[in-house]
Amino acid sequence: MTLLSRLRTSHWRTALGALAGAAAGALYAHFVGCRTGTCPLTSNVWSAGLYGAFVGAVAGWPARARAARDDGAPGSPPSIPRAPTEG
């Protein structure tokens, strides 16, 4: 598997999230953002787009693969040892 195909299959969600976040950040700064220029994030469309891209990329970052469970049942929570009860 080549590097380009591996990146395309593994980080497509990250790139899509970054693109959507950049668009959302830029649109927010353009239509709603700070008009006086005192707000460091939303006074400039480019900085808001960059911040939105970062947030979108973090939200779309692929999760780590889950470790194999010892009990063998797929999707079941790990068993927790319980203390003996007196009775």
Q: Which tens digit of pLDDT belongs to each residue from 19-73?
A: 999 999 999 988 988 878 788 888 888 999 999 999 999 988 877 665 555 555 5
Q: Where are the domains of the chain?
A: 10-60
**Residue 82 region by backbone torsions, left for phi larger than 0, else alpha for psi between -120 and 50, else beta:** beta
Please give the pLDDT value at position 22: 95
- Where does the chain show beta strands of DSSP type E? none
Residue with tokens 């953002």: 33
The predicted model scores a pTM of 0.61
**CA-based nearest residue to 56, from 7, 27, 28, 14:** 14
Residue 86, token pair as written in the block: 């007196």
Q: How far apart are CA 26 and CA 33, in angstroms?
A: 9
Q: How distant is the alpha carbon of residue 41 from its chain centre?
A: 20
